Amino acid sequence: MTEHAGASQKPFLYVVVCAAGIAAGVEELIAAAQERGWEVGVIATPVAMGGFFDVAAVEARTGRVVRSAWRSPADPRPFPAPDAVAVAPATFNTVNKWAAGIGDTLAVGTLCEAAGLGVPIAVLPCVGGALAAHPAYQDSLVRLRGMGVRFGDPYSGEPAPGGDRPAFPWTTALDLLERG
């Protein structure tokens, strides 16, 4: 049975973090979500836990453990059920596994389930142009969009011609969730 946050509590946002270099900035999204009234719990892929962001800082900011592995059957659910889910950054790997229904990490399993729960899901991909050209990735985007998943603009992480890397649009995830 899924535990929902009580009606008097803040809505609960899952932030799913994948192993892209830009993940180091995920606290910007968490802070913005908290300012907008969300309670935040972070679920990271196992690869993302290996140095892609500051896990201790995120736990201090959210007041909750960062989840990456499934709980033991006897353990209580660490998070309430989500009212919304933001996937940022989303990798090529996780987007493709999610679209294919391969729930081999807690992160992807959670995403597969969230679509079925009917909660809003916003995705900010960080996928380089060469990988994004792969037909499987393009098929995955079509499939997930068809499920109602909301995507931010493509972001490659590559520097612009002038040399600077464009800022990652963290708060777009919240805008996508809140558009109704």
Ligand X SMILES: Cc1cc2nc3c(=O)[nH]c(=O)nc-3n(C[C@H](O)[C@H](O)[C@H](O)COP(=O)(O)O)c2cc1C
Catalog residues that contact ligand X under the rule CB under 6 A: 18-21, 45, 47-48, 91-94, 105, 126-127, 157
Give the nearest distance from C-beta 97 to ligand X in angstroms.
7
Of residues 80 and 113, the one with the C-beta less far from ligand X: 113
Beta bridge partners of 150: 122
Report whether 40 contacts 15 (CB < 8 A).
yes
CB closer to ligand X, 62 vs 105: 105
Pairing of strands 84-90, 12-17: parallel
Amino acid code (one letter) for 82: P
Measured from the CB atom, the residue of 45 and 172 that comes closer to ligand X is 45
Which residue's CB is nearer to ligand X, number 39 or number 127?
127
| Least CB distance to ligand X at residue 60 (A) | 22
Point out which residues pair with 123 in neighbouring strands.
Answer: 87, 151
Task: Determine the 3-state secondary structure of 44 from DSSP.
Answer: strand
Q: Where do the H-state alpha helices sit in 8-105?
A: 26-35, 55-62, 92-100
CB of 45 to ligand X, least distance (A): 3
Q: How far is the CB of 68 from ligand X (least distance, A)?
A: 10
3-state DSSP call for residue 56?
A: helix
